[in-house]
Chain A
């Protein structure tokens, strides 16, 4: 996208001086706007990671995860690695469909977190003991973001993740 914006501003140079100046100014504004979008990608690479579950829906740590594209994407990776997609894949229906926007146990961050960690039935009930806390934060952010992901985008994401291990299998890098 950045490339085409730059193209527009360069093309504007060939126009008469007035338009050219306006054109390149708009180009600069557009570039600045598109760079502002990079803030969503900011990643915090520190040892300071959450060690506890969210303390309710107003936990100040929640926006750092829910509004950050990197944390959501990491959650998506773990979602695949831990085999969540075995049941909750893109085509899942009914209670297994996480993208339908209907939250049966509540839609707030702490509620979704609790269901992932301790709300699965039967043998799956202990994810909270087996998945590290910080990764549960990321998986929660990913799951809560799913209703906003259009079908074709989710298909592309799944395609990109084909070379990654899923659950107990890894079939090799996709050729």
Chain B
């Protein structure tokens, strides 16, 4: 009973936002089909081998008397023939796998020829810089740790790394690909299912590799266009006194050394773009839920939440901390 329950729980892991077993895109679907084929072929052989092994043990049970001298058995024509059949079976299975993998590769490569949305994603220790081209002006629109894609349209994602090797992986949408400093890689993704997915760095990249995740939102084309237009706009002006105070602290203090808020004097480029931080789901690359409390905790004690992160602790008095979190929350 308990074992059955544990098995069901395991199966529960097969659905969800971060699994290759519930494909939500074309590339993930062809990889999933290939996975199914490999499972089927290897399962058949697994069962056959174990079956023959059991059968052999069963047949030999009479000869297990201790001290019997080994006997050279006479040539067995039946055995030779069945070995030939067995070898042929193995070759057929391998050909099936090679064929399946060829078809899957063709399917993955077929997206190359399509006109695609260009997105560039750069891995940093330990977050993701994400850049689009604004279709209206051609300017670069930057965000971080949250990738939005229109459903049904192929996105060509240029992968790069600023410091060490990272790896880009959204299991529900496609296979993983390394991001290597000094090298251009690109992966095509054609989402077929609306909703939120989760991506994760898949190459050990330092102390906080495990906390280097990002959200992926697959939108309808209209939603996507509206989102991109909103991201392209400069930051909202503070609506109340608290937010205005927060803006003064952010722009005039330590935050601006590393973070950019377009439309203000904050222009640092080392850390994530905060122009629309209030619209994002998570903080610190998928580490915290984006709430005002989370924001204050992250600013005051990033090294306690994500030890080793490049984000330094910034000591603010409580009123300033509250104002900063209100201001950042208002940057929708």
The answer, yes or no, to whether A57 is at the interface (CB within 8 Å) is no
Which one of B188-196, B219-227, B312-320 contacts A?
Answer: B312-320
Q: Which of A45, A49, A168, A174 contacts B313 (CB 8 A)?
A: A49
| B181: contacting residue among A45, A46, A163, CB under 8 A | A163
Q: A163-B160, A168-B269 are in contact. Are A45 and B182 (CB under 8 A)?
A: no
Query: Which residue in A49, A81, A168 is a CB contact (below 8 Å) of B303?
Result: A49
Given contacts A81-B270, A165-B162, contact A45 B257 (CB under 8 A): no
| B122 part of interface (Cβ distance < 8 Å) | yes
Contacts of B257 in A (CB 8 A): 81-82, 130-131
Interface membership of B240, Cβ < 8 A: no
| A45 contacts B308, C-beta separation under 8 Å | yes
B315 to chain A: closest residue by CB: A51
For A49, list chain B residues within 8 Å (CB): 303, 312-313
Interface of chain B, main secondary structure: loop
**Chain B positions within 8 Å of A164 at CB level:** 162-163, 270
From known contacts A130-B254, A175-B184, infer whether A169 and B269 are also in contact, taking CB-CB under 8 Å.
yes
> Which residues of A have CB within 8 Å of B120?
172
Complex Cα spacing A82 to B120, Å: 24
Hey, which chain A residues are within 8 Å of B308, CB to CB? 43, 45
| B263 interface contact, C-beta 8 A | no
| Residue interface bits A144-175, CB-to-B below 8 A is 1, else 0 | 00000000000000000001111111101111
The interface residues of chain A lying within 8 Å CB-to-CB of B13 are none
B270: min CB distance to chain A, Å? 4
Assess the A46–B303 pair: CB atoms within 8 A. Answer: yes
A47-B313 contact in complex given A130-B254, A163-B182, A175-B184, C-beta closer than 8 Å? yes
Chain A residue contacts of B179, Cβ below 8 A: 173
Chain B residue nearest to A45 in the complex (CB): B307
Question: Least Cβ distance of B225 to chain A in Å?
Answer: 25
Complex interface bits, B243-256 against A, C-beta within 8 A gives 1, otherwise 0 = 00000000001101
Query: Is B313's CB under 8 angstroms from A163's CB?
Result: no
Q: Which chain A residues lie closer than 8 Å to B303 at the CB level?
A: 45-47, 49
Would A172 and B181 be within 8 Å (CB), given that A47-B304, A130-B254, A135-B312 are in contact?
Answer: no
CB closest chain-B residue, reference A163: B162
Name A's interface SS. loop
Max chain B CB contacts within 10 Å: which of A77, A132, A135, A167?
A: A132
Cα A51 to Cα B316 in complex, Å, equals 12
A47 touches B161 (CB 8 A): no
In the complex, A134 has a CB within 8 A of chain B: yes
Docked complex Cα distance between A134 and B54 (Å):
66
Q: Which residue of B lies closest to A131 (CB)?
A: B257
C-alpha gap A12/B254 in the complex (Å):
57
Across the interface, which residues of A come within 8 angstroms of B184, CB to CB? 175
Q: Annotate A119-135 by CB proximity to B: 1 below 8 A, 0 otherwise.
A: 00000000001111011
Contact of B301 among A47, A130, A131 (CB under 8 A): A47
Q: How far is the CB of A16 from chain B (nearest CB, A)?
A: 42
Give 29 CB contacts A-B under 8 Å: A43-B207, A45-B308, A47-B303, A49-B303, A49-B312, A49-B313, A81-B268, A82-B257, A129-B253, A130-B256, A131-B257, A132-B313, A132-B314, A163-B162, A163-B163, A164-B163, A165-B268, A165-B269, A167-B269, A168-B267, A168-B268, A173-B160, A173-B161, A173-B179, A174-B160, A174-B181, A174-B182, A175-B182, A175-B183
| B residues at A contact (CB < 8 Å) | 120, 122, 160-163, 179, 181-184, 207, 253-254, 256-258, 267-270, 301, 303-304, 307-308, 310, 312-315
Q: Please name the 5 residue pairs, one residue from A and one from B, whose CB atoms are nearest each other, closest first.
A: A173-B160, A132-B312, A45-B307, A165-B269, A170-B269
